Amino acid sequence: MSIKETLSFHFLKETNLSWENLGKREIKLEPTFPYKAYPMAEKIPLPLEEFPQTEGLFSILTKRRSERNYKRYFISLREIAFLCFAIQGVTARVGHYLLRTAPSAGALYPIETYLAVNYSRDLTPGIYHLEVRSFSLEKILEGNFGKILREIALGQAFFETASLVFIWSAVLRRTMAKYGERGLRYIFMDVAHICQNLLLASVALNLKACPVGAFLDEDLDELLGLDGVEEKTIYLATVGK
Ligand SMILES: Cc1cc2nc3c(=O)[nH]c(=O)nc-3n(C[C@H](O)[C@H](O)[C@H](O)COP(=O)(O)O)c2cc1C
């Protein structure tokens, strides 16, 4: 089989940009609201009084590794807050755009973040949604989901010993309404920026993290109550010590 016969190659070809096809591949998708919130959920503000003193960037870059050996460490809300700031902290406001620590194509921010908290000294186990505007967590499910996430991640055992699992979904329409089919490329780039920030911030906080792409998509969508069409899960990362 040649690469040219694959669906992936077809997608890349059909979504490439050239002077010839510029502006000719538009699709009709209505834009949607750029933020998600669970107004009925219990809300936990994330504390960010003072940033911790950490090693320099190049030392952190040198140390980063995908680490999977965790000891059921009870993570603090303060540590969670710094991780959340690293991935989606708002650092500037330009018009109605809330610019963040991670870049986003067209400042459209298609990625939503959920945290499955297994072990924390300050938060009860459960699944929380990161509400970016108020920088708080919204509790959407109660309980330790380590075992279930392990199954969803094809049996990867470290999901059970991780303190936290970050789950990222994409609200496809946010980016695709502007960029059409090519928008999907940008969505995956967006989430990779976010995840890399998490991995580096984890090293800075003496935590360990691992990005995870192997999971049962539909089962994870179902766990979070996502329809898998307008919003679907696309990436995971475990964090522990
Ligand atoms: C997109 C992506 C998906 C990954 N999925 C998994 C995974 O499902 N399970 C896992 O243990 N590691 C996963 N990894 C981590 C890689 O195995 C790891 O980055 C690679 O072995 C290089 O090691 P390093 O990150 O320590 O430098 C993934 C990494 C990326 C970038």
Q: Whose CA is nearest to atom 31 of ligand 1?
A: 211
Q: Check residue 197 and give its pLDDT.
A: 98
C-alpha 136 – ligand 1 centre gap (Å): 29
C-alpha 122 – ligand 1 centre gap (Å): 29
Q: Ligand 1: which residues within 6 Å by Cβ?
A: 65-66, 68, 156, 210-214
C-alpha 211 – ligand 1 centre gap (Å): 6
Averaged pLDDT, 68-76: 98
Which among 193, 210, 233, 238 is the best mutation to test ligand 1's pocket, defined by most ligand atoms within 8 Å of the CB? 210
Closest atom of ligand 1 relative to the 195 alpha carbon: 31
Q: Check residue 229 and give its pLDDT.
A: 98
Q: Check residue 203 and give its pLDDT.
A: 98
The H or E element containing residue 139 is strand 136-142
Of 20-34, 111-125, 177-191, minimum mean pLDDT range: 20-34
Cα dihedral across residues 118, 74, 197, 85: positive or negative: positive
Query: Which residue is associated with the tokens 């936990």?
Result: 44
C-alpha 185 – ligand 1 centre gap (Å): 20
The pair of structure tokens assigned to 220 is 């994870």
C-alpha 210 – ligand 1 centre gap (Å): 7
pLDDT above 90: percentage of residues in the chain: 96
Q: Check residue 24 and give its pLDDT.
A: 87
The identity of residue 150, as a single letter, is: R
Tens of pLDDT, residues 192-232:
999 999 999 999 999 999 999 999 999 999 999 999 999 99
Which among 62, 64, 65, 66 is the best mutation to test ligand 1's pocket, defined by most ligand atoms within 8 Å of the CB? 66
Averaged pLDDT, 122-130: 98
Averaged pLDDT, 42-66: 96
Q: Check residue 168 and give its pLDDT.
A: 99
Q: Check residue 172 and give its pLDDT.
A: 98
Q: Check residue 129 and give its pLDDT.
A: 98
CA-nearest of 238, 207, 210 to 116 is 238
Q: Check residue 3 and give its pLDDT.
A: 97
Q: Check residue 25 and give its pLDDT.
A: 85
**Comparing 105 with 23, which gets the higher pLDDT?**
105
Q: Check residue 103 and give its pLDDT.
A: 98
pTM: 0.97
Q: Which CATH class is domain 42-240?
A: alpha beta
Give the β-pairing of 126-131 and 111-117.
antiparallel
Mean of per-residue pLDDT scores for the chain: 97
The pair of structure tokens assigned to 5 is 């016969």
**Residue 26: is its pLDDT beyond 90?**
no
d(C-alpha 49, C-alpha 83), whole Å:
14
